[in-house]
Amino acid sequence: MVDQSTVERLKDLACEARKNILRLCHKGATHIGGDLSMADMMTVLYQYGMKYDPKRPDWEERDRFILSKGHGAGCLYVTLAMAGYFSMDEVLAKYREPGSPFGEHPSSEVPGVEISTGSLGHGLSVSVGLALAARLDGRGNRVFTLMGDGETQEGSVWEAAMAAAHYELGNLVAFVDRNRISLDGETEKLLRLEPYAEKWRAFGWNVVVIDGHDIEQIVAVFDNLPPVDSKKPTVVIGKTVKGKGVASMENDVNWHAGSIDADFLARSCAELDEARRRERGE
């Protein structure tokens, strides 16, 4: 059973992460819709599931994380700041400033970022390489990656999916932020992905489908991961809502990317706080 105090702590952190994501979006344009849809899975990854030490970013036994959907840089910076790699103030001061390491897509100049990403369809292949290296070295770490669902329209993702199953990489876990919307609209209208879970299953993966905003379900994913030395890679398809948490942004294709003013920021943060209070029964 999932520990309820852990779940409550993670919900608080996810709420704080969303507010930080909005603060960053006020500082400069971010891919705000996707940042908000991936926030719960990212929070549980870094605040519950992953093994790492922000004081030793090069620790050999750390779990590796690759943000394949590099457009989610805003959420990644917030997550890493809340994990202790640097302060949120630093991100807010430097985001999109000339010469800053904190740009629109993640650069490996940022502590905690393993490799620069941004072009879609690359992260799963790199993750396969990392998982193979861990196996070669006999290390017990896992490799996590997070992809956007639209991103998996790229053919290279399926090359990597075949390879992960072929090399029996049970140490590899891929999350998909299945918010069903990419820049131009609905994935199912642009290039149909369904039947999605069946595709991954047919490619030889262990498939877990969850509500990507249900902290308890995300925690359960980590509690029930197959052993590191098992033989099937795992894909976690998190059903999410683009813009999750800010009603006026939810499922709105116009909030793929953009920035918000101070008034919008204040109203949205109040909305998130209020929702969290109601959730707690306060």
- Binding site residues, another protein, CB under 8 A: 64, 108, 114-116, 118-119, 121-122, 124-134, 136-137, 155-156, 159-160, 162-163, 166-167
Q: Give 42's Cβ-side CA count (13 Å radius).
A: 33
CB of 37 to another protein, least distance (A): 24
Expressed in percent and rounded to 5, the helix, strand and coil fractions of the chain are 50, 10, 40
Vertex 80 angle, CA 76 and 82, to 5°: 115
CB of 182 to another protein, least distance (A): 19
Among 90, 160, 92, 110, which residue's Cα sits nearest to residue 132? Answer: 160
CB of 33 to another protein, least distance (A): 24
Calpha distance 209→217 (Å, rounded): 10
Residue among 109 and 194 whose Cβ is closer to another protein:
109
Q: How many CB atoms lie within 10 A of CB 229?
A: 11
Residue among 62 and 242 whose Cβ is closer to another protein:
62
CB of 46 to another protein, least distance (A): 20
Residue among 6 and 116 whose Cβ is closer to another protein:
116
Residue among 32 and 131 whose Cβ is closer to another protein:
131
